Structure 1
Amino acid sequence: MHPLNWTIRHFSSLTVNELYELLQLRSDVFVIEQQCIYRDPDDKDQHCYHLMGRIPETGELAAYARIVPPGISYEEPSIGRVLTALKHRRSQFGKALMQRSIEAVQTYYPDQPIRIGAQTYLLAFYNSCGFVETGEPYDEDGIEHIEMVRGNTGPD
């Protein structure tokens, strides 16, 4: 599998088609696949940057994350709605997605730690990206999560 083509856009710069694609993929993964009934449009998207990884040959959206400014989800900047499309899960796009997401936070919000609310079954993955658990696990929409922080030590 070839590397993805990456783009990042602030909400105000997204095309209607890009917005539709990312909302559709988020719904496919978080609502349908994980069987989690929740309101995905949460009034945070408008403040965020949206990182999209596309398959070069087809333009298909295969990986996505939103970069959340400080003061929206947490005091620190955050990375949220992290996903890889189901059919691309074995392509190792998740690691590249997180590396690009961390770089984006460091670009837009330099010298700040990053806080995320991670699904606990992905703890080892996020640990491998430099995140450390803080606090206790909690339930969010029927799925166990835990807050994690990555100190800003610059690029790895």
Structure 2
Amino acid sequence: MPDCSVVAKSWSELTTTELYAFLKLRTDVFFVEQRIDEEELDDRDQEPRTLHFFTADDRGIAAYARVLVDAEPSHRDARHIVGRVVVRQDRRGEGLAKTLVAAALDAVGPVPVVLHAQHYVASLYAGFGFEAEGDIYLEAGMPHVTMYRAALG
């Protein structure tokens, strides 16, 4: 199996090649494959506290996720938001999303975390202690559910 080491970087640490590669992956999956027609470049990528997590192989970025940090809680008491979790089509089924989410949660520590999961992958996040809250809703034209993980310990 190809390497699945996770790299974590802030905006200022990213190279232009890395930035291009993960934006291309997000575009290929969210816009081309899933036909999501909502804003992808939301200015949150470049915030100083945003962390970008990715794995790469000889074909480029294989998987990506980011963690945003809000000044005020965005859901209940959670200020950290996991999002944009995406895996390149040829690497799906290898556990890369799980590896990235684990790395992201390790990086943020035992604090409360929220995410907006595409409904069909909610079980991935449930494995990390996230619980679905509220009804399923459409976000970017796809069924999503808000998921919350309380502070640990």
Give TM-score scaled by structure 2 length: 0.88
Structure 1: gaps spanning 5 or more residues: none
Counterpart in the other structure of 1:39: 39
Amino acid at match of 1:16: T
CA contact (8 A) 2:21 2:60 kept: no
Report whether the alignment pairs 1:28 with 2:24.
no
Amino acid at match of 1:51: F
Residues 84-103 of structure 1: pairs in structure 2 closer than 5 A? 84-103=87-106
RMSD: 1.8
Structure 2: gaps spanning 5 or more residues: none
CA contact (8 A) 2:136 2:145 kept: yes
Q: What's the % identity of the aligned pairs?
A: 32
Counterpart in the other structure of 2:147: 148
Q: CA deviation at 1:72?
A: 7.7
Count of matched residue positions in the alignment of Structure 1 and Structure 2: 148
Cα offsets for 1:14-56 (capped at 9, x unmatched):
111111001000001111110111220001111211111123x
Amino acid at match of 2:64: Y
Measure, in 2, the Cα distance between the counterparts of 1:153 and 1:132.
13
CA contact (8 A) 2:63 2:87 kept: yes
Paired residue for 1:50, among 46, 49, 52? 52
CA contact (8 A) 1:67 1:104 kept: no
Paired residue for 1:79, among 67, 76, 82? 82
Counterpart in the other structure of 1:124: 123
Counterpart in the other structure of 2:9: 9
Measure, in 1, the Cα distance between the counterparts of 2:72 and 2:3.
31
Greater helix share, 1 or 2?
A: 1
Measure, in 1, the Cα distance between the counterparts of 2:111 and 2:99.
21
Amino acid at match of 2:62: A
Instruction: Return closer, same or farther for 1:82/1:147 CA change in 2, 3 Å cut-off.
Output: same
Q: CA deviation at 1:59?
A: 6.5
Counterpart in the other structure of 1:104: 107
Measure, in 1, the Cα distance between the counterparts of 2:60 and 2:125.
25
Amino acid at match of 1:100: A
Amino acid at match of 2:126: N
Measure, in 2, the Cα distance between the counterparts of 1:141 and 1:59.
28
SS in 2 for 1:99: helix
CA contact (8 A) 1:71 1:77 kept: no
Report whether the alignment pairs 1:61 with 2:61.
yes
CA contact (8 A) 1:44 1:72 kept: no
